[in-house]
Structure formats: C-alpha cells, structure tokens
Amino acid sequence: MSDDHGHGHGHGHEAADTALARIEALSKEKVHHAGDHEGPFSLHVLGLGATGAEVVSAISGIAPPGFTALAVDIGAGSLSGVAAGDPAVRTVELPIPSRPDLSSALNRYREFLKMEYPRYYWNPNYEPWLPGDLEIPGSSAEMPRAIAKAIYGAEYYQNREITTAMDEFAEGVLTSEQTPLVVVAFSMAEAVGSGIVVEIARHLSSIKLGRRPWVIGMGVLPQQPEATFFPVINELDCMIDTEKNNGVMAVWGDLYKNPFTGGFFAVPDDGTHSPVDAIASFSTAGGGKDLYETLKALNWLAVPGDQWHPAIRGEQSDRWINLLATRPPTEAGDLSGLGLIAGFATEYAEARVFGTGPAAAAAAAAVAGAIPGVAATRVEPVVESVETPGDGVVSVVLPRASKLDLGLFVPSRDLYDPLEWEAHLLMHSWLLDLGVMLCEPSIRFDGMGGECIWGCACWVVVPHAAIRGESVASPISDEDVAAVASSGVGVPASG
C-alpha cells in the first residue's frame, strides 16, 4: 500500500516527519524572526473603496517612517477628509462617467489590452461586457462590481489621474530606502473595492512593481452571506491558488499571475471588533517588523519541503486564506466571530500580544487557551509577547484556510445560484474584459469553468466543480491544457 503520492510507508513517514520538523522550526526555533540584516521596513498602503480609505486614515495617524498611501474610490466626495493634511497620502476619486463616455472607452478595450501586452488575442467577437441599456448608478447608489471595473479601466487605460497616481505610488515603493511592504486593503462586501482590486492589484504588482516587493492582500469579509461574495471569493481563489491560477494563465497569459506576492489575509467583521483597526494595528506593529515576520512564517509553510530558506516565496495552494483578527487584551480569550466552520484544522497558529505588565501576561495566557477552540493545530499555538507602551492589542493569525473553511461560502453560493444571468454578470469583475464569466460553466469545454459571455470559446482551465467548491471528478489533464492551442483563444504567455 502506498500513500497519496505513490510512495511507500517509509517515504510517507519521512515526509510527515519533515513537515512536522518544518512546523516546529517556526514554533521552537523562530526561523521566521527577522535577523539583524532584515529591515527596517516601510509600509505602503493601497486602500480601495470606502473600507480601504478608512484603513488609510487609520494607519495615517500611527504610521511608521517611510509610510505612503493611495486611497481610491468612485464618486464625487467619497474620499473627503481621508487622512486630511498628510502629505504621504494621495486620494483619487474616480468620476462617474456619462453612459456615452463609458461606452466609448469600453468599445476601445481591445486596443487597451493590446497595448498592455502585445500578444493579446484580438477577439473578433468582443463586445463591451455591460449591456448597452444599463444605467450607471449615481455616487450614492449601489454600484455592481462589473460597473466599478469598467469605470476603473476607462480611467486607467486612458491615462487619467489614477494612472499617474499609480505610477507615483509605485515609484515611492521602489525608491524606498527601507524594505517595502505593500498592503492592498479593501472589503469583499463592497462592490467598488472588490470590483477594482482584481485589476488594480495586477497593474500594481505585475506591471508597475515588476513583482519585486511583497504585495499583501487584506480583504474584510462580509458580516453575513451574500450572493456577490461567491464570485468575489472565486476570483481571488483563481488568482491565488497556484493550480487554478496556472489554469487561467494557460489561456490568458502571465499578466494574470497572482498579484499578491506576499499572500492574502481575510479579516472577519463580527460587528463588534473593527476590521479596519485590525488591519491598521497589525500592519504597523513594530514598524512593519511583525507583519514581515508573519509573511516569512506563511511562506515557510508554503515552500516545497526541499527548500528550507524562509525568504523563498511559497506557492499558494487552495488553502491560501490566512485569517487575521485582533482583540483588546481584556478580550483575548474570546475568538468567536471568526467565521470558520467547525473542525477547522491547520498546521500552525500564532498570536502576538502587544503591551506590558500583568495585563499583557494575562492576555497571552487567555489567547493561548482560546485558539484551540477555533482551530486544531499540529503544534501548540505560538504566543509571542512584544513589549509596547499603552493599552496594547492582541493579533491572531490562523493560516492556510480554504474558501470551504469559511462559513460564508456555501450559503453565499446558495444565494447566487437562483439569480438571473444578467445579475450574475454584474457580480463578476476580473475576466469580463476577456469575455469570461468565471463562476459559470464553459460553453465549449465540458466540465471547465468560465462561460464566454459572447458565446465563443473563452474559458479557463479550471474545473467548474472546483470553482463551486464541489468534488472534482478528475484532475486537469495535459489534454485540457493542450486544447487551448486549438481553441484559437488567449495567449500562451504575455509579451
């Protein structure tokens, strides 16, 4: 009898022993702690939508040296007062265009994409993804993700203020004299933030930063199941899970490679503890040092077993979600409201207690006792104590959850399923300009995901069952990938 990888018992035990040794290296040897040669760090925040703007404002008041930020939203006046007077913060309010102006920009989208990567496939079936009679909501009305994407794309590709602001933001990151950490903050419950993050993150990370600095996604989870959350989490899943992302790039090229080079944190919103404060306090702790050490730990867990250096960037699996929560020291023993399903298990968990004196010691003991109630771990939860003045805070990171570990996923799918096709379309964003509605089944390739909204052969090499979170009958075969070459769609790699 052999294990799942075809090895005998001896090899299986050896692999298990190696995996345990790697986890224990985090908890006992502290291999992820920053050495004297690492740091200092500079923090750079791209805040998207209302929640992202709140994060920028919160960090502005407590930011370490070298901090810069760009807040982006849609609608006149939406960013008034954000980090007012802070010269390190720039805001860009994307204007709501007239319907003719937006239609004109969308009609030129193939030109825009061709300029972005010359080997872009010029699809003769292209049409704007927004219905021609669709009314654009005003600044105070709810805006679907598909429209938010269109507005951002029209501004960015026509070299308007957002394009210049992105260039300046990226220049600040690349010229930092410190080690830069780039945080992209948004809410997965907000159409604007979640609708533009899938574009702006790849423009920033893959094009303007050349994938050099660590870019970290921090997305606030909805408080309750929502139909829109189903495409939001699936677009992120197909970005960040390496196997699924490879299936997207097989058709559309490597500009669609996972932009979150440092990983992704999901921040629960239980209605009691502020997710904005959680992101702000966690990102700025120790001048960015604690965030950096957490990133090293997460990448250490994700790198191949024969590559032990903690600075290697790991490839994410379908367990790419890292839950981040903070609590005041007096509530360190209460980790309710994280939104994980019962029975969640992971390799490792770490809490950091910032504070001093008996209150910090009591908080450390309380959070150590609380973690096993929400997550089973292979080694004892690690609690780091960091001496800081003031009231203090406790941060908890539970790594390597999948979308199916989120209690929101299945109920959101159930809310999504009965809606009409156009409602589904407006809830999507990421690949609509390529003709792909990710969460619907492919028209041309049985069992694959990504319906072509123009009725042609656009698709992704990702099983539709995997997108839905259902069991996959068989893995993706070489024949599936080879079918790309004969489909006449997409590019094998970007230029």
Phi, psi of 466 (to 5 degrees): -70, -35
Q: What's the confidence (pLDDT) of residue 33?
A: 87
| Average pLDDT, rounded, for the chain | 90
Percentage of the chain surpassing pLDDT 90? 74
Q: Are 339 and 405 in contact (CB under 8 A)?
A: no
Q: How far is C-alpha 425 from the chain's CA centre?
A: 21
Check whether 3 has a pLDDT greater than 60: no
Residue whose C-alpha is closest to residue 47's, from 60, 36, 56: 56
Query: Which residues, at least 6 apart from 261, have a Cβ–Cβ distance to it below 8 Å?
Result: 205, 211, 213, 214, 215, 313
Kindly give the residue spans of alpha helices, DSSP state H, lying in 303-375.
357-370
- The Cα–Cα gap between 30 and 384 comes to 10
- Mean pLDDT along residues 302-308: 60
Kindly give the residue spans of alpha helices, DSSP state H, lying in 241-307.
242-252, 275-284, 289-302
Amino acid type, 333: G
- The Cα–Cα gap between 454 and 452 comes to 5
Confidence class for position 7, pLDDT limits 50, 70, 90: very low
Check whether 13 has a pLDDT greater than 70: no
Q: Are 303 and 314 in contact (CB under 8 A)?
A: yes
Amino acid type, 437: M
User: Which tens digit of pLDDT belongs to each residue from 199-248?
Assistant: 999 999 999 999 999 999 999 999 999 999 999 999 999 999 999 999 99
Q: What's the confidence (pLDDT) of residue 456?
A: 85
Confidence class for position 10, pLDDT limits 50, 70, 90: very low
Q: Are 293 and 306 in contact (CB under 8 A)?
A: no
- Mean pLDDT along residues 472-485: 61
Phi, psi of 326 (to 5 degrees): -125, 155
Q: Are 227 and 439 in contact (CB under 8 A)?
A: no
Q: What's the confidence (pLDDT) of residue 495?
A: 34
- The Cα–Cα gap between 8 and 1 comes to 7
Confidence class for position 491, pLDDT limits 50, 70, 90: very low
- The Cα–Cα gap between 459 and 25 comes to 42
Q: What tokens were used for 151?
A: 């507005």
User: Which tens digit of pLDDT belongs to each residue from 283-299?
Assistant: 999 999 999 999 998 88
Q: What's the confidence (pLDDT) of residue 278?
A: 97
User: Which tens digit of pLDDT belongs to each residue from 85-108?
Assistant: 899 999 999 999 999 999 999 999
Check whether 174 has a pLDDT greater than 60: yes
Query: Which residues, at least 6 apart from 303, have a Cβ–Cβ distance to it below 8 Å?
Result: 309, 312, 313, 314, 315
Phi, psi of 112 (to 5 degrees): -60, -50
Q: What's the confidence (pLDDT) of residue 312?
A: 59
Q: Are 168 and 120 in contact (CB under 8 A)?
A: no
Q: Are 473 and 465 in contact (CB under 8 A)?
A: yes
Higher pLDDT, 32 or 278: 278
Tokens 């001496």 -> residue: 387
User: Which tens digit of pLDDT belongs to each residue from 391-438?
Assistant: 899 999 999 999 999 999 999 999 999 999 999 999 999 999 999 999
